[in-house]
Amino acid sequence: MIEEKEKVVIVGVETEKNQSYFAESMKELIQLTKTAAGEVVFSLTQKRPQVDRQTLIGKGKLEELIQQATAYEADLIIFNHELTPRQSQIISDAVGLPVIDRVQLILDIFAMRARSREGKLQVELAQLEYLLPRLVGQGKTLSRLGGGIGTRGPGETKLETDRRHIRNKIYAVKRELKEVEAHRERNRQQRKNNEIFQIGLIGYTNAGKSTILNLLTQADTYSKDQLFATLDPLTKKWHFPEGFEVTMTDTVGFIQDLPTQLIDAFHSTLEESQNMDLLLHVVDASAPERILQEQTVLKLMDELEMKDVPILTVYNKADQVNRGAFTPTLFPNRLISAKSESGKQELTRAIKREIMELLTPYTLFLPSEAGQQLSEIKRQTLVLSEEFIEEKNSYEVRGFAKSTSKWIRRMTDELDS
């Protein structure tokens, strides 16, 4: 049975403040609506020096919104701006339809995508904190009996519209999240103690992070041409052809005007990226607003105190651009197609070069009978060469390891003794 999509009218106001990215933002709103299983039947835009304080679009445009919503038999109005509780109420009363904003739409998509316990808790916390100041006068919107866009997750229809109840719920979710975060921190610490080289994938939503994770690790994660296809962070092991073992962590995609509630709620998840040895900033090379998307990610990285982590920019979707005419803006970088085998080889070589820049070179001599140690060395460090020296009856092993590596020191001590 095919689920009937909700008919949606989207509304945006272009002002002096947002004119540089307004068109891209409206395109994104259409994609977000589609991801939330809605169908945009009409797009209403207006140019103003600044938004109207009561209705964002002013009286004339509000009348047009009412007419178009009726003509297209719309079920829902979505504004491309965060609405105050008062604005939402005034517009909803005038149009006679539920009204949500971009923030609520993104929260709704996150509620659809969350799979892990931590992901669900983080989304619930973000939704509750968004809902709390919007309780007064929201009775009509909150009681949308069929559910639909904006009502997923803990669900506004299932929540008592009582401030004390919501605050208690927020406190309970935060307490539960702390327990989950403690478990995540223990795992993180364990990886650090084991001295495993950690690579993190970051980037604008739908840039191809999950595709790259699948390409390198055969992780078989959910990868689709949708915004926020990945929500829960996923860490997988990846072995280089030489045997070197690293971990790769995929994280939630960034987006223009990512809701503050989400950044706060997902702080522990995003912290995963702060502890990486290397970040792969995945960029959709074919995106018309590529530079704007790059700037959005870099700005959020700055806010999350990640600017000191080494970064390799991976320009993905090379099959959709003219390689000769493509001009990169971030360095170091590599242009690849994550859907090709050659892309895998190019990316592996580029990552290997970055790792060699970050690690310390070493030379070890292993006796010919130390096969087990050699196998362990290949797994724990990036081995570039192994040569059997007949005069010494031993292997000369050259490679790269972390400068703080207790493991290399231990191995050297064992061989010396």
Partnered with residue 7 across adjacent β-strands are 39
Query: Is the preceding omega at residue 332 within 30 degrees of 0, hence cis?
Result: yes
| Of 333, 321, 236, residue with least CA distance to 280 | 333
Partnered with residue 118 across adjacent β-strands are none
* Angle, in degrees to the nearest 10, between helices 85-95 and 58-71: 50
314: its two tokens: 């991976």
* Euclidean distance between CA atoms 123 and 119, whole angstroms: 6
Backbone angles phi and psi of 215, in degrees to 5: -60, -45
Residues contributing to the annotated binding site for GTP: 203-210, 228-232, 250-253, 316-319, 337-339
* Euclidean distance between CA atoms 125 and 122, whole angstroms: 5
Helix (H) or strand (E) holding 198: strand 197-203
121: its two tokens: 């808790």
Residues contributing to the annotated binding site for Mg(2+): 210, 230
Tell me how far CA of residue 234 lies from CA of 153, 230, 268, 282, 339, in angstroms: 21, 9, 14, 16, 20
Backbone angles phi and psi of 389, in degrees to 5: -100, 110
Residues contributing to the annotated binding site: 203-210, 228-232, 250-253, 316-319, 337-339
35 sits in the region (left: phi over 0; alpha: psi -120 to 50; else beta) called: alpha
Quote the strand ranges of 5-162, DSSP E: 6-14, 38-47, 76-79, 99-101
| DSSP SS3 for 362 | strand
